[in-house]
A and B are shown apart, each in its own frame.
Chain A
């Protein structure tokens, strides 16, 4: 089944403790992206990647890192999480050249709470 898999689904952590949210897709998509979703603010793009080793900042990149060493994986790293990073996070992928027409396939989300 074609899908985007995120792990974990739920995570509670403490301020300052480094964490990684994994994202993997099995559709051979070039384009991958991370979003956070907050009430009233909608989905905001954190980082995106147009292909292996090519990443760029979205609208809210502060406090996050990403890497794209393989086409299928696009992990999101929080080096020193803070409470304002408590949010619902989504990973998404698409064939790059076809993003405007094809759209995204989203993962099921990771609900992160930083205390």
Chain B
């Protein structure tokens, strides 16, 4: 069962454009994380959001946690080819430490 639904699955844009990736669930999470994965490598943590309504910025990346802590978005401003990668959201889904990922959004930024 995929608790975390990501959309879109694939996004191809030109350098300089903006994009938004979504991570949705019917469950409430105490925190949610975003990772980026490049080909041939493991995912790398970008950010953790904890508080409902929280907004975090990492250079041109803006992360938002929904007020109800069920969803999150990642917005990239003026995308660059270096932003190309698989973006994954993830969260702890039970009290024993089970940790689940969304299926990911593949972002391709062409020069």
* B-binding residues in A (CB < 8 A): 4, 31, 33, 35, 40-45, 48, 50, 56, 58-59, 90, 92, 96, 99-104, 106-109
Contact = CB atoms under 8 A, between A and B. Distances in A.
Given A31-B97, A99-B92, A104 B31 contact: no
B97 A108 contact: no
Contacts of A106: 41-44
Nearest to B96: A56
Nearest to B30: A100
Given A45-B100, A58-B98, A90 B33 contact: no
Contacts of A103: 33, 35, 45, 48, 90
27 contacts: A4-B42, A42-B2, A42-B101, A42-B103, A42-B104, A43-B90, A43-B104, A45-B98, A45-B100, A50-B96, A50-B97, A96-B97, A99-B99, A100-B30, A100-B31, A100-B33, A100-B92, A101-B31, A101-B48, A101-B50, A103-B33, A103-B35, A104-B35, A106-B41, A106-B42, A108-B42, A109-B42
Q: For the complex, would chain B's binding face be called helix, strand, loop or mixed by DSSP majority?
A: loop
